[in-house]
């Protein structure tokens, strides 16, 4: 158990993000969870340090939400970009997975949420991270962002492209921030039985989140730029 952290966690009202919020709060961390709705019931029930309301597709809402965070806390030690979406959130059918099944608006929408949104989040929270203790950004990626893995399996191509782009954003962020002592790590959480992962996934959200919290505790600046699995082992690019 490390010292209590000040945490910004996106997508904290359901799925993997909700279990991460539960575990971090239970162990004494102060968690500001984000949600799109103003009064996210499941998150509020966990007793977070605060609720930050924004939509990752809306830059102004992220800027405003993180400005509110800055009024509540002097620094942030850990940012977890967990919120994410795939083509199904934008009207794509489950079987529409090929590179040419997308209309441009849905393709852009997935990438807006999974890549542009996290970029804006980290950009806005940087002044707080700079005042953090052992600051770490954990970007929840996916094995489907791996060139080696996604060639043979996977969900829709827009989603795979977005996670590959998130990995590149993370590598560039790690390089840019290393000199300031801010670590940036990408993590594949496993195939998890959430709304996104479906009922047949082998890992429960609690199992994945438990392993991720343990992994976070073992990460340091030396790990910046790595792509890891939920259990901390190295994921192939």
Terminal C-alpha separation, the chain: 30
Nearer to ligand NAP, 20 or 182 (CB): 20
Q: Which long-range contacts link 144-151 to residues 24+ away (Cβ below 8 Å)?
A: 145/186, 145/188, 146/188, 146/227, 146/235, 146/236, 146/237, 147/237, 148/236, 148/237, 149/236
Strand partners, 138: 80, 185
Site membership for ligand NAP, residue 13 (CB under 6 A): yes
The DSSP secondary-structure symbol of 116 reads: I
Site membership for ligand NAP, residue 7 (CB under 6 A): no
Of 106, 142, 167, 173, the residue at the interface with ligand NAP (CB under 6 A) is: 142
Of 5, 8, 11, 169, the residue at the interface with ligand NAP (CB under 6 A) is: 11
Site membership for ligand NAP, residue 16 (CB under 6 A): yes
What is the maximal distance between C-alpha atoms in the chain?
48
Spatial separation of the C-alpha atoms in residues 99 and 221, rounded to whole Å: 36
Spatial separation of the C-alpha atoms in residues 65 and 67, rounded to whole Å: 5
Of 7, 20, 56, 69, the residue at the interface with ligand NAP (CB under 6 A) is: 56
Site membership for ligand NAP, residue 85 (CB under 6 A): yes
Nearer to ligand NAP, 213 or 221 (CB): 213
Site membership for ligand NAP, residue 84 (CB under 6 A): yes
The footprint of ligand NAP (CB under 6 A) covers: 11, 13-17, 35-36, 55-57, 82-85, 113, 140, 142, 188-189, 191-192, 194-197, 201
């Amino acid at each position: 158990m490390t010292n209590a952290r000040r945490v910004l966690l996106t997508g904290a009202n359901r799925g993997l993000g909700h279990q991460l919020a539960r575990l971090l709060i239970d162990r004494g961390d102060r968690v500001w969870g984000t949600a799109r709705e103003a009064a996210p019931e499941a998150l509020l029930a966990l007793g977070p340090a605060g609720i930050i309301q924004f939509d990752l597709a809306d830059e102004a809402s992220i800027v405003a939400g993180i400005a509110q965070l800055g009024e509540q806390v002097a620094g942030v030690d850990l940012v977890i970009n967990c919120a994410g979406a795939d083509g199904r959130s934008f009207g794509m059918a489950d079987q529409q997975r090929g590179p040419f099944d997308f209309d441009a608006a849905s393709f852009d929408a997935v990438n807006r949420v999974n890549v542009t949104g996290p970029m804006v989040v980290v950009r806005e929270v940087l002044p707080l991270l700079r005042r953090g203790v052992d600051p770490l950004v954990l970007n929840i990626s996916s094995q489907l962002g791996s060139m080696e893995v996604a060639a043979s399996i996977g969900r829709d191509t827009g989603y795979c492209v977005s996670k590959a782009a998130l990995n590149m954003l993370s590598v560039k962020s790690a390089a840019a921030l290393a000199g300031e002592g801010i670590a940036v790590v990408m993590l594949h959480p496993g195939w998890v039985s959430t709304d996104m992962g479906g009922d047949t996934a082998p890992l429960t959200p609690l199992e994945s989140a438990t392993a991720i919290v343990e992994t976070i505790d073992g990460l340091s600046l030396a790990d910046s730029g790595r792509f890891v699995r939920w259990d901390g082992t190295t994921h192939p690019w």
